[in-house]
Structure 1
Amino acid sequence: MQSTTAQTSQTRDLVIGLDELANVLGKTPDYLKRNWLKLHQKLGMPRKHPAAFIWPRGAINVWLTSQAYVEAVPGNDNTGDLPPSLHETRVAEQRAALHASMGVGE
């Protein structure tokens, strides 16, 4: 079965080539050839197709628009020494602020 022009253009719309992606990222094609794997490992850029320097257009669009690969910052970093009275101090401060906002005297 012969490939038609419509099939070729549909297939072409599924992928983004080296030159176009380099332009979108503001890099040179040579830079992208050398560093695509590092970009994948460190920034979560989608992997290229194994047969050529092409990438799935949908995955690239998601990656560029969603910050799909953002490393989580620890939200509960309890390293370091805290004074034993810190908890009681914070509770007292919060209680005083709550009472003040409600107009309640102690």
Structure 2
Amino acid sequence: MLLISVQPGQEVLATINAALAERGVQSGAVASLIGAVDSCGISNMAADDAAKDILTEYAQPFELSGTGEIKDGKVHLHVVLGREGDVALSGHLHWARVETFFVNAYVIPL
């Protein structure tokens, strides 16, 4: 198992993808993500068209957990985000910026 750590000033997907490329990982599973982000973009499917993604961007801190897969050297992540007021959001992660804490990705290469 690999630990990829995203630190303040880094973007989650770019950092994980770069670390995978450095290690030559082309396929695998992201068994766990844990940490916090300060802004992000997630998407969900439209109720009337499963082929359509609706992207929503947020500029606020979130607790983050998730899982994913690595195909053709690229990471695909689904996350659950908790924000102020005990509200949870979930979806496909398009981008996330770490400024205050960290995000750790635990990766199992295949």
Q: What's the TM-score, normalizing by structure 2?
A: 0.20
Higher strand share: 2
Which has the greater radius of gyration? 1
Q: Which has the higher helix share?
A: 1
Calculate the TM-score normalised by the size of structure 1: 0.21
